Every structure is written in structure tokens, then in C-alpha cells.
Amino acid sequence: MTTLTVENYLKATLQAEHRTGETWITTGELALALSVSPGTVTSMLKTLSESGHAEYRPYAGVCLTPAGREVAMRMLRRHRLIELFLVRTLDLSWDQVHEEAENMEHAVSDALIDRMDEFLGRPTTDPHGDPIPSAEGEMRVRDDRAIPLSSLSDGTHFRIVRVVDQGAEFLRFLSEVGVLLHQEGVVRSNSSTGGIIAIVIEGRPVVLGHPAAMQLLVEPLSEWGWWLLMCRDQIRD
């Protein structure tokens, strides 16, 4: 049996792996993710190493063992399925579900999570576009083609597939300006000098700063998006 704290550390380590692309995660990275001191992290990593959930090396950080990865993947699956369940069934907004899922993921059983998964139709992503692991611990979708919106050139047609910054304030900002997951748009102009990108999304003009646009991962669809959009609008007229 694992404790709530152990589960949180293992999940945070796995998420840091996905975020950084590194197998070994530093204590500083985990301290930042968990909002605790580096000393507290070091003490916990030693405990995880003793329990066989992770390998800890001073100055190198931590690496999950197969046993630790299994627990971390299970917690990630629980968290993301709960988020989606709350959005679809209780109509909670995408900026409200994280904290609720953080509390619920430790209390529900694997059997209940499997029923949620079945009820939701075996979804591949959560409300923020993060991939949901299967019951076997495998990601059912990859976002290898996803790149930051800020990197697109003028005229590129795109689809929003993931939001990196999932803080409640940023998600509310996106909702206010009408930028949501799975929407399609086109880059009208991207100014590296001015640090802003002007897009047309679902027929509406939106201007974002590059820091915000970097937090939106998109799938490029065509480099002729602006031309196609203009042709479509002329046909409608």
C-alpha cells in the first residue's frame, strides 16, 4: 500500500519526465512542482528509494523504478479521468476540476475508475488535452506533432490540442477570449519583434502575447490556412 504523499511524489516525478523529456528528475524540479523545500524532497526521495519505488542519487535526482512508474501511471490515469468526468457529467469548467481531482484521486478505487473510463467511452485525452493512460499503463494517444502556437508562421491553419499551463487563472483567461481545446484557427500574423500573434479562431479575431501562445500546443493543418479561410468566407458571402 502507498500513502497519499508517496502517490503525489511518484505522479509529480512522472509528470516532470513528460515535461522535461528526462528520465532523471532533479530535486529542484520536484520541489517547484510540489511547492515544498528541496530538503523535504530529498528526505522523501530517500524513502521512495528504500521502498523500491524510485532510485535516488545525490546531485543527480530521482528515477522511477518499474514499481514506482506503475503507481505513478495509475494516479495519472485516475486524475485525468476524474477531471474529464467532472467536466462532462457535472458541467464543471476546465479551471475548476484540477483541485477536485487532486482530492478524489486518492479515495476512489481502480474498479470505479474503470467504470468511469467505460462510461466516458474510453477517452484518450482529458479536458486540457493531456493524454489519459489506459488501465494497462499505456498512453492511448501521442501529441508528437504538437508544437507551440507561438512558433507558427503567417497563414498556418491549426487545431488546438493541448494547454500546457493549467493554472486556473490562465484557463479562465482563455475562456474569456474564446480560445478552447479542439478549436481550429489560422495565424493572421506572428510578430517576433512585437511578441504578439494575431489569429482568427472559429471566425473570431484574437491577439495573444507570445508567453500565452507558448502555452498552447497546436497541430498544424496547412500553411495555406489564411487563403483557404478567405476563400471560404467569400463563398459564404
Query: What residues does each domain of the chain span?
Result: 4-64, 147-236
Is the CB of residue 25 less than 8 Å from the CB of residue 69? no
The predicted structure's pLDDT at residue 93: 96
CATH dotted code for 147-236: 2.30.30.90
Is the CB of residue 150 less than 8 Å from the CB of residue 210? yes
Say how far apart CA 200 and CA 232 lie, in whole Å: 13
User: Which of 6, 7, 32 shows the shortest CA–CA distance to 19?
Assistant: 32
The alpha helices in the chain, defined as continuous H runs, are 4-20, 27-34, 38-51, 66-90, 97-104, 110-119, 168-177, 210-213, 225-236
Predicted TM-score (pTM) of the model is 0.87
The predicted structure's pLDDT at residue 140: 72
Say how far apart CA 8 and CA 2 lie, in whole Å: 10
The predicted structure's pLDDT at residue 236: 47
Label residues 75-97 b or e (16+ Cβ within 10 Å = b): bbbbbbbbbbbbbeeeebebbbb
Say how far apart CA 130 and CA 78 lie, in whole Å: 13
The predicted structure's pLDDT at residue 104: 95
Other beta carbons within 10 angstroms of residue 139's beta carbon come to: 17
Task: Say which CATH architecture domain 4-64 belongs to.
Answer: Orthogonal Bundle (1.10)
Give me the residues of the chain with pLDDT under 70, please: 1, 142-144, 223-237
